[in-house]
Amino acid sequence: MQKKLIFSLLFIPFINFNALAVNTSGDTAFINQLAYNMDVDSLVSRWYNKQMSPGNDTTFVVEDFIDSLYIPDYPDSVYKARLAQLPTVFDMSYNPIIRNYIHMYTHKRRDMVERMLGLSDYYFPIFEEILDANAMPLELKYLPVIESALNPNAVSRTGASGIWQFMYYTGKMYKLEINSYVDERRDPIKSSYAAVAFMKDLYDIYQDWTLVIAAYNCGPGNVNKAIRRSGGKHDYWEIYYYLPRETRGYVPAFIAANYVMNYYGEHNLTPKKSELPILCDTVVVKNRMHLEQISHVMNIPVSEIRNLNPQYRRDIVPGQGKSYVLRFPYNQTTRFIELQDSIIAYNDSIYFNPEAISKAPEYNTYSSGPPTKDHRKLTYTVKSGDNLGFIANWYGVNVADLRNWNNIYRNTIRGGQKLAVYVHKNKVASCETIDDMTFEQKQARIGKSTVAKAMEAPETTTTGEFEYYTVRRGDTLWDIAKQYPGVTDTDIMRWNGMSNGRNISIGQQLKIKVKG
């Protein structure tokens, strides 16, 4: 093994960075390009803590130290030559706009690029297989890099969703299922087929792949307008300034993504290992199940199942006779098939209430029939001074039921109106005479003190510091308040717990405080 030059910790502060910079690819801007402005002291401190851990050697490798800090930049000629070497059908142009995007990826968004490099081991084989099967340029696999940063759950501010960033109607147009449970825009496989179909249609229009990806971003309508405004030119860079501002950066970002994903090593970018398994397999299910059921029975973290199946937006596979696909690590598919019945049965009453699909009102609340077979219908004719509260009390029913049985909105009833009242068969004998009783008899029947009828002169009853006023036809709170010096309609509402002064009814008793 080739020996490396090793220094002790004591020599670190004395490294001549300027000399090192001159010796590294001729780049004289080394100090200015130190990653994230990290200074030597903080690096030494982290190194020291790490090196003093058990099992670590206390020596320091200068090459590792340099590589961890150095972010190289290259002359334009180098970038141009590297892009020209890429085996692509695209015109890999190079200009200051593209250089800025390369600089963004290699300097400002290093962490994001390193995460995407790790994810590419999982996603790129999926994209490449589908692109190759359709005779499409394989470099289109880099489109999701700039669309979603390889995040299948990405949602744009305009509502585009998934790893290929489909809008709702475009996704529907290309046969992606989108509903409350499933969003196939987030399915890396199905959305890739849809994206390929979309781009093939765009290529049939433009016969130019650069214009295809521009139209993928802003729609063919905007590209067509840019072509017309440019005088009929079909070169992307000639219609550049006629395109929407966002799309102007789209193609340069795509070219920069091609560069970075191929030459990341030259910029000291290191792929971050992804938790997604490289080898996966799929199973087809027709039963409804929750991802947590699968997780508990198979002892797989639910986050792993969710990451492999991002299309199930509520962690539920709808099933119900329709086939759906679940993706697993390749060594788990056989276990799932063996345990499928146990998974479906696991806490099924908790995850899915079997009674919910057959729920109905406990009893019929409309006049088309009795609440139960043990109830009988009686008819009551509304008299002057009646209100729904009185009638409900006389028959021993709820006001809400009385309204529902008779399709009454709020509490409005009128004299002579016929009301259906349903009472239990055991109470029919005692209730069927209520319609013929006087107001006093009906009140006495339920143990209430007799009050005057609504059409008679208003009656007040004094109890301690309050009087009770019986509402007559035509009364308003303002009229009633005028009869009591120093009392306002607001006072009456407060004393009677009312939120709306217009909701008073004939025969209602209002509590009014007696003043001095």
* 313-324: b (≥16 Cβ within 10 Å) or e: eebbbbbeeeeb
Distance CA 501, CA 32 (A): 75
| pLDDT of residue 204 exceeding 90 | yes
Question: Would you tell me how many other CB atoms lie within 10 Å of the CB of residue 164?
Answer: 28
pLDDT band for position 354 (50/70/90)? low
The distance between the two most distant Cα atoms of the chain, rounded to a whole number of Å, is 115
Could you tell me if 326 and 285 are in contact, meaning their C-beta atoms sit under 8 angstroms apart? yes
Sign of the C-alpha dihedral, residues 204, 208, 212, 214? Answer: negative
Strands 418-424 and 460-463 turn out to be unpaired
Dist. CA 29–CA 388, nearest whole Å: 88
CA distance 159 to 185: 11
| Alpha carbon distance 485, 470 (integer Å) | 18
Question: Within 10 A of 166 (CB to CB), how many other CB atoms are there?
Answer: 26
Calculate the CA 416 to chain-centre distance.
55
- Structure confidence at residue 61 as a pLDDT band (50, 70, 90): very low
Domains of the chain with bracketed CATH: 6-69 (no CATH), 76-165+183-267 (1.10.530.10), 280-358 (no CATH), 375-445 (3.10.350.10), 460-513 (3.10.350.10)
Model's pTM, two decimal places? 0.60
Question: Following DSSP, what letter does each residue of 46-62 receive, concatenated?
Answer: HHHHHHTSTT--S-EEH
Query: How far apart (Å, rounded) are the C-alpha atoms in residues 283 and 334?
Result: 9
| Angle (nearest 5°) at CA 269 between 266 and 271 | 125
Question: Phi/psi class of residue 474: alpha, beta or left (left: φ > 0; alpha: ψ in -120 to 50)?
Answer: left
pLDDT at 1: 43
The tokens of 259 are what? Answer: 């560069």
pLDDT in tens, 113-165: 999 999 999 999 999 999 999 999 999 999 999 999 999 999 998 899 999 99
Q: Which residue in 160, 172, 225 sits closest to 198, CA to CA? A: 172
Number of Cβ within a 10 Å radius of residue 451 = 18
Give the model's confidence band at 23: pLDDT under 50 very low, under 70 low, under 90 confident, else very high: very low
- Cα–Cα distances (Å) from 49 to 53, 381, 458, in that order, read 7, 91, 91
Beta bridge partner(s), residue 281: 328
**pLDDT (mean) for 172-196:** 95
Residue range 363-385: average pLDDT? 74
Which residue type is seen at 71? I
Residue numbers annotated as active site: 147
Spatial contact of 459 and 477, defined as CB atoms under 8 Å apart:
no
